[in-house]
Amino acid sequence: MSKYFSPAEFQRCTPSCLITDMDPDFLEYLDAFREFVGIPLVLSCAYRSVAWEKSKGRTGNSAHTRGKAVDIVCNTSATRYKIVSAALHFGFRRIGIGKNYIHLDNDKSLPQGVIWHYYA
């Protein structure tokens, strides 16, 4: 189902999810991106239910709820540079920069050509 991402990796995410919760096209895209970037990508978050989102006070319209988004662990500026530059070259049009993760999604129902941050 995925060359680089095991079912266990999705179960370890917060919230825990299943690889089968993910959109198959996104999963294929993510695998190709992993090949392209050439470094290990550790997922901290993947699929999230609408109910989970609402319990956190969010709208429930995140790309995560459609299985078209992941958050990738990122703790150094060099890794951040590598992932973000590769993501832009690869074709990601939606990137979020967190303190210790990078959000990537390819949800065409949401605004394209955006990079946002999660800083308070």
Binding site for Zn ion (CB under 5 A): 71, 103
- To Zn ion, the closest distance from the beta carbon of 100 in angstroms equals 12
> Looking at beta carbons only, is 86 or 105 nearer to Zn ion?
105
Length of the chain: 120
Residue nearest to Zn ion (CB): 103
Residue number, 34 or 103, with CB nearest to Zn ion: 103
Residue closer to Zn ion by CB (options 81, 116) is 116
Q: What SS3 class is residue 66?
A: helix
Tell me which amino acid residue 75 is: N
Whole-angstrom distance, CA of residue 67 vs CA of residue 80: 23
CB 33 within 8 A of CB 72: no
- Nearest residue to 71 via CA among 2, 3, 5: 5
Q: Closest separation between CB of residue 19 and Zn ion, Å?
A: 17
Shortest separation between residue 31's beta carbon and Zn ion, angstroms: 18
